[in-house]
Structure 1
Amino acid sequence: MEILMSIVIGILFSSAMYLILSKSLLRIIIGTALLSHGAHLLLLTMSGLKTGEAAVLREGVHSYTDPLPQALVLTAIVISFGVTAFFLVLAYRAYQELGTDNMEQMRGTETND
């Protein structure tokens, strides 16, 4: 299962880098969201994909699941959702003011293509 998750994480990271390096602001925002999802999966995969009982330690329990990675990833999901929402509002406002979502035109550099 770890091999499959590693392949999925690699695909997410590579597609996120491709989108982040584009000129469109909306594609950059989608790329950052994909990058955060890849990081979440990486954290869960590094902590070990194991099944066990609940994380209540009592007498006679030999296998349990560590709740810390899930708690960290849930917190990171909420933070990345807030950052993505902020980026979308910022991009919408920039599009209203400048009339474009092209990063080259937002910088003010002229392209002779």
Structure 2
Amino acid sequence: MEIVFIILIAVLYAAGIFMLLRRSMVKLLVGITLLGNGANLLIFLLGNITKGKPPVIDSAAKLFTDIYADPVPQALILTAIVIGFGIQSFAIVLLKRVYVLVNSDDLDDLNTPEEEDI
């Protein structure tokens, strides 16, 4: 199962970097989203996936005799998903406003000064 996650992480990173190298603002945002999802999967994979075990340990236990799920990677990923959603929402609104002002989706059109339009 871990090899599937490794391949999926590699595909997400490759697709994200490919999309970042495009000239479109929308493709840039999609690339950032893919990289964020790849990073979330990487944290999940490094957190030692444990099936069917709760992330709670009995307080009376002095020695861990059973496998338990680590709750820290799960909490980090949940936080990253919420923060990523907020950033994506803000970026979509910002990209829409830029498109209305510039009338183009090309990133090179943002760098041209106003005097060149004469």
If the length of structure 1 is used for normalisation, what is the TM-score?
0.90
SS in 1 for 2:85: helix
Cα deviation, residue 55, structure 1: 2.0
| Whole-Å separation in 1 of the counterparts to 2:85 and 2:35 | 12
Q: What is the aligned length? A: 110
The aligned counterpart of 1:41 is 41
Cα deviation, residue 61, structure 1: 6.0
Q: For the Cα contact (< 8 Å) 1:52–1:63, is it kept in 2?
A: no
Q: For the Cα contact (< 8 Å) 2:50–2:68, is it kept in 1?
A: no
> What do the CA deviations read for 1:54-107 (whole angstroms, capped 9, x no partner)?
122124861211111101100000001111111111100000111011001111
Q: For the Cα contact (< 8 Å) 1:40–1:73, is it kept in 2?
A: yes
Q: Which has the larger radius of gyration?
A: 2
Q: Which structure 1 residue ranges, 4+ long, deviate > 4 Å from structure 2? A: none
5 Å-filtered alignment, 1:13-32, equals: 13-32=13-32
SS in 1 for 2:8: helix
Asked if residue 83 in structure 1 is aligned to residue 98 in structure 2, the reply is no
| Whole-Å separation in 2 of the counterparts to 1:64 and 1:35 | 29
Cα deviation, residue 3, structure 1: 1.1
**Unaligned regions of 5+ residues in structure 2, if any?**
none
Q: What is the aligned-residue RMSD (CA, Å)?
A: 1.7
If the length of structure 2 is used for normalisation, what is the TM-score?
0.86
Deviates more, 1:33-42 or 1:47-56: 47-56
Structure 2 residue corresponding to 1:98, chosen from 83, 88, 102: 102
